[in-house]
Amino acid sequence: MKSLRFSTLLVSAMALTLTACGGGGGGSTAVVPPTTGTGGGTGSSGPTYTAGTYVASSTFKNMCESPRAGTDDVAGSLLEEKHWLRSWSNETYLWYSELPDIDPASSQYPTAVDYFDVLKTSATTASGAPKDRFHFSRNTAEYQQQINSGASAGYGVRWRIIQSAPPRDIRVAYVEAGSPAETAGLARGDKVITIDGQDAVNGNTQAVVDALNGGLFPNDENEQHNFTVEKVGATDTTDITMTSGVVTSLAVHTTGVETLGNGDKVGYLLFNTFGTFPAEDQLYDAMTNLSNEGVKDLVLDLRYNGGGYLYISSQLGYMIAGPDATRNQTYEQLVYNDKIAPENPTPFYTTTYDDDFNPENPLPSLDLDTVYILSTGSTCSASESLLNGLRGIDVNVVLIGTTTCGKPYGFRGTDNCGTTYFTIQFRGENAKGFGDYADGFSPSEGGVTTGEAVDGCILSDDFTKELGDPSEALYNAALTHIQTGACPTTAAVKPDSWVSYSKPATLAEGSLLADPRIKNRMLLENSRIFTGPGQK
Amino acid sequence: MTTDFSKSVPATLKGDQDVRPELKRVISEALGGRKVSLSPDVLTQESRLVIERAPEPLDPYGNPISGRLRMEKPNIFVLKKAGNSCALYHEQSGEYYPLSGVKCAE
């Protein structure tokens, strides 16, 4: 094979429409909002609770214990904030009939977020995992922070936490070109031994955990931290000092073309996020180049792609399958609860997004009937939509790697009183009406015990090789499958521990995730926040 | 004297100057007070600046909280020069935001 040609492109960012969904609730109990705020539920005035009866959430919207200046907030109470959560959940939650009906005045839940945290189903999936693993809230001001496209504070490194509890295994998944991490000499596969002198492998006090989080995930620019790393194949360690900056990340990180023995060309595309606006332009350029190269197959590396814009996911589906296979087909149908009217399905978009600078342009396409997707537990949401959407129109998807995250769900983050709440509101289904993959998609090699079986090979992420290197295990398995129709016979490597780690049965109580600094932090191309001692 | 930017031309930032505080100030003003982060090389290579929501925070599994987003047009600003003055033009609102202490070139 010829050596791979790499190219790097540019990135960007995203946004989420803040839309309050749904209509009114089912009840008719009169609620008289108080004129002054009350406490956390024990006050003598305020709305009253009647089991099974729900007042429209609009009754309580923006009635806040601490109204924000310059917003729609008005003086209200914590009790009203909780009543809003109860009614809003009843109106919009996908499985609203499975919600517990808890008196908002209960003293068990001293904050609105505490109350929100229990407003979800307790059912489990076929694998025994919680049915709802995606129930979050974030500070609205942080969530709405604006950036120039693709930029975020950090080192320009994506960490991969293979083992979060001692003995920890923290690796570098990749670094961004021109970033502080690259300049400092950090490279894929490097294993972190110490951070600012603290033992990153075995350190097990809360102080050490805090120091590790602080070093891995700098809050701002110009934070300097010292790392000791063990490079791939090295017996000695290397000391590295990195200073955080505002780093521009790449959605399309790497592209390449490999020529097989029979002369056929295979395209490779490492695509790390659908969640940035310039990702569209980058995909347009990359797929145009691959089309011009005349590639016969595509290896799409989504192992670290946690999703983003469904629109761009649909565009990529079109660029893979082409006009004949996608014409008049549904890419994804969002299915809400029975109180919310269905929307028109998302089609396979065939043009670029129209904006004030760029008119709609027809997208290129490879017109493939088979695509090879490289996956891990971080292959999530819009990435899984792509997989499912293509299967819905009978494109053969070959999955190489480990089970995907299992997130067919979505939500419209909704602000109330300074907190944005995310509760599952819809499920995505493909053209065949399939969307039941809460346990993820799993390569079918050797039989599948969890997840939806997809033709493919089970392999662990290979940190010994650069991404895009044809000898890297997952890419190499795809090249083998393209040429032989089967998985490599030497692929007796077990999946890494990420699979089980990425699906904890429950979230640890009292973890650092409760730390506002961690909860509200921006995506720093990282994969996991540590939990404290004794937590999983 | 107020500069008339109606006949201004696209420009880029000139020289070795960190004008991000001033840029953040006017962009935040244009966006209703939202927090803004900018990279060091912003507007040095091209006059167009795309501003959008910061990457989604991560969920406890290490993935973006939503992961299925509706497309939302980003805010687009263009650095413009009129005489010796520079301004950021906000494409969506059609407003010019004069910049203080910023040198730019056509």
pLDDT greater at residue A503 or residue A192: A192
**Calpha distance B71→B49 (Å, rounded):** 18
Average pLDDT for residues B11-34, to the nearest whole number?
Answer: 89
Among the partner-chain residues A146, A355, A504, the one whose CB lies closest to the CB of B54 is A146
pLDDT, residue A247, reads: 87
Task: Answer whether residue A22 shows pLDDT above 60.
Answer: no
Task: Tell whether the model's pLDDT for residue A337 goes beyond 50.
Answer: yes
Between CA B35 and CA A144 the distance in angstroms is: 8
In a domain, B1, yes or no: no
Question: pLDDT tens digits for A341-391?
Answer: 988 999 999 999 866 556 788 999 999 999 999 999 999 999 999 999 999
Q: Give per-residue pLDDT as tens, A234-284.
A: 999 999 999 999 888 889 999 999 999 999 999 999 999 998 888 999 999
Instruction: Report the residue of chain B nearest A512, measured CA to CA.
Output: B60
3-state secondary structure A74-143: EECCHHHHHHHHHHHHHHHCCCHHHCCCCCCCCCCCCCHHHHHHCCCCCCECCCCCECCCCCEEEEHHHH
- B72 close contact with A: CB closer than 8 A: yes
Share of residues in chain A with pLDDT > 90 (%): 69
Residue tagged 């090249």 (tokens): A479
Residue partners of A2: CB distance under 8 A and separation at least 6? A258, A259
Query: Residue A517, CB half-sphere, CA atoms under 13 Å: how many?
Result: 8
d(Cα A366, Cα A488) in Å, to the nearest integer?
26
Domain assignment present for B47? yes
Q: Comparing A8 with A100, which gets the higher pLDDT? A: A100
User: Are the beta carbons of A307 and B66 separated by less than 8 Å?
Assistant: yes
Residue A265 C-alpha, separation from nearest chain B C-alpha, in angstroms: 32
Could B66 and A138 be called an inter-chain contact, meaning their C-beta atoms sit closer than 8 Å?
A: no
Which CATH number, 3.30.930.10, 3.40.50.620, 3.40.50.880, 3.90.226.10, labels domain A252-411+424-498? 3.90.226.10
Helix (H, G, I), strand (E, B) or coil at A23: coil
DSSP SS3 for A269: strand
Nearest to B66 among A161, A248, A422 (CB): A422
Contact at CB, A136 and B65, closer than 8 angstroms: yes
Other C-beta atoms closer than 10 Å to the C-beta of A263 total 7
**Contact state of A275 with B68 under an 8 Å Cβ cutoff:** no
> A117, A136, A143, A146: which to substitute to probe chain B, counting the most B Cβ within 10 Å?
A146
Q: Which residue has the higher pLDDT, A103 or A30?
A: A103
Q: Which residue has the tokens 């907190």?
A: A419
Contact of A208 with A197, CB cutoff 8 Å:
no
Cβ-contact A454, A406 below 8 angstroms:
no
- Residue among A145, A307, A413 whose CB faces B35 most closely: A145
pLDDT band at A339; cut points 50, 70, 90 = very high
Contact A146, B75 (CB under 8 A): yes
- The complex's ipTM? 0.82
pLDDT of residue A441: 96
SS3 A500: helix
Q: Which of B54, B70, B92 sits opposite A13 (nearest CB)?
A: B54
Mean pLDDT of B66-93: 88
Which residue in the set A148, A382, A411 is minimally distant from B49, CB to CB? A148
Domain count, chain B: 1
**Does the beta-carbon distance from A148 to B39 stay under 8 Å?**
yes
Task: Give A289's DSSP letter.
Answer: H
Name the B residues in 6-35 with CB < 8 Å from any A CB: 27-28, 31-35
Chain A nearest-CA residue for B23: A148
Parallel, antiparallel or unpaired: strands B9-10 and B75-82: antiparallel
Task: Quote the pLDDT of residue B60.
Answer: 72
Closest CA to A127 of A444, A380, A451, A490: A451
Among the listed residues A129, A164, A161, the one whose alpha carbon sits nearest the alpha carbon of residue A449:
A129
Asked if the model's pLDDT at residue A120 lies above 80, the reply is yes
In a domain, B65, yes or no: no
In chain A, what are the domain boundaries? 57-143, 151-245+515-519, 252-411+424-498
Per-residue pLDDT, A323: 98
Minimal Cα–Cα distance from A101 to chain B, Å?
A: 25
Q: Do B52 and A149 touch (CB under 8 A)?
A: yes
CA angle A115, A118, A119 (to 5 degrees): 90
Residue B63 lies in a domain: no
A196 φψ region: left (φ > 0), alpha (ψ -120 to 50), beta (else) = left
Pairing of strands A396-401, A370-375: parallel
A521 touches chain B (CB under 8 A): yes
What is the mean predicted confidence (pLDDT) over A393-402?
97
Residue B46 has pLDDT above 70, yes or no: yes
The answer to whether residue B79 is domain-embedded is yes
Q: How far apart are the C-alpha atoms of A502 and A306, rounded to whole Å?
A: 12
Residues A273/A315, Cβ–Cβ less than 8 Å: no
Considering only CB atoms, B62 lies closest to which of A17, A378, A410, namely: A378
H or E element, residue A321: helix A310-321
Closest CA to A283 of A305, A258, A263, A265: A305
Instruction: Name the token pair of B69.
Output: 């987003």
Q: What is residue B8's three-state secondary structure? A: coil
Residues 163-222 of A with CB under 8 A from B: none
pLDDT of residue A80: 98
How high is the pLDDT of residue A302? 98
pLDDT tens for A135-179 read: 999 999 888 888 887 777 789 999 988 888 899 999 999 999 999
Given its phi and psi angles, is residue A94 left (phi above 0), alpha (psi -120 to 50 degrees) or beta?
alpha
A157/A210 Cα distance (integer angstroms): 19
Q: Is A509's Cβ below 8 Å from some Cβ in B?
A: no
How close does chain A come to B1, measured CA to CA in Å? Answer: 31
Question: What was the pLDDT predicted at A446?
Answer: 77
One DSSP character per residue, A402-469 reads S------EE---EEETTEEEE---EEEE-TTS----TT-EEE-TT--SSSEEESEEE----TTS-TT-
A16 touches chain B (CB under 8 A): yes
Matching residue, tokens 């393209």 = A482
Q: Shortest CB distance from A146 goes to which of B35, B58, B61? A: B35
Amino acid at A418: G
Strand pairing class (A63-64; A409-410): unpaired
Write the CA distances from A221 to A218, B2, B102, integer angstroms. 8, 35, 22
Q: In angstroms, what separates the C-alpha of A423 from chain B's closest C-alpha?
A: 10
What pLDDT, in 10s, does the model give residues A272-307?
999 888 899 999 999 999 999 999 999 999 999 999
Q: SS3 of A285, please?
A: helix
Q: What is d(CA B82, CA B11) in angstroms, rounded to the nearest whole number? A: 9
Asked if the model's pLDDT at residue A203 lies above 60, the reply is: yes
- The dihedral built from the CA positions of residue A94, A100, A101 and A106, taken in this order, carries a sign that is negative
In the three-class reduction of DSSP (H, G, I as helix; E, B as strand; rest coil), residue A525 is classed as coil
Task: Using alpha carbons, list the distances in angstroms from residue A179 to A212, A222, A249, A430, B20.
Answer: 21, 13, 9, 38, 19
B62 is a domain residue: no
Residue B46 domain flag: yes
Q: What was the pLDDT predicted at B1?
A: 60
Q: Are the Cβ atoms of B59 and A134 closer than 8 angstroms?
A: yes
Residue with token string 């129930």 = A135
List, for residues A402-456, the tens digit of each pLDDT value. Answer: 999 999 999 889 999 999 999 999 999 999 999 999 999 999 987 766 789 999 9
Question: Which residue of A lies nearest to B66 if distances are taken between CA atoms?
Answer: A410
Mean pLDDT score of chain A: 83
Give the whole-angstrom CA distance, residue A350 versus residue A327. 9
Given a cut of 50, whether residue A71 has pLDDT beyond it is yes
* Residue range B56-81: mean pLDDT, rounded: 82
Distance from first CA to last CA of chain A, Å, rounded? 44
Whether A384 contacts A373, CB under 8 Å: no
Percentage of residues in chain A having pLDDT higher than 70: 82
Residues of B in contact with A336 (CB under 8 A): none
Residue ranges making up the domain that contains B14: 9-53+72-105
Q: What are B13's strand-pairing partners?
A: B104
Alpha carbon separation from A266 to A284, A390, A519, B105 (Å, rounded): 18, 19, 41, 45
Across the interface, which of A144, A161, A520 has its CB nearest the CB of B53?
A144
Does residue B4 form part of some domain? no
**Is pLDDT above 70 for A18?**
no
Out of B36, B56, B92, closest to residue A523 by CB? B56
Those residues whose C-beta lies under 8 Å from the C-beta of residue A25, and which sit 6 or more positions away, are A53, A54, A55, A56, A57, A87, A90, A91
Chain A residues with CB inside 8 Å of B74's CB?
A: 12-13, 15, 149, 277, 355
- Chains A & B: contacts with CB separation below 8 Å: 208
Q: What is the pLDDT of residue A474?
A: 97
pLDDT of residue A354: 67
Bigger pLDDT: A333 vs A497 = A333
Q: What is the pLDDT of residue A165?
A: 85
DSSP A353-420: PP-SSS---BPP----SEEEEEE-TT--THHHHHHHHHHHTT-EEEEEES------EE---EEETTEE
* A contacts of B50 (beta carbons < 8 Å): 12, 148-149, 277-278
CA-based torsion, A337, A343, A349, A353: positive or negative: negative
Q: Candidates 1.10.10.10, 2.30.42.10, 1.20.120.1200, 3.20.20.140; correct CATH number of A151-245+515-519?
A: 2.30.42.10
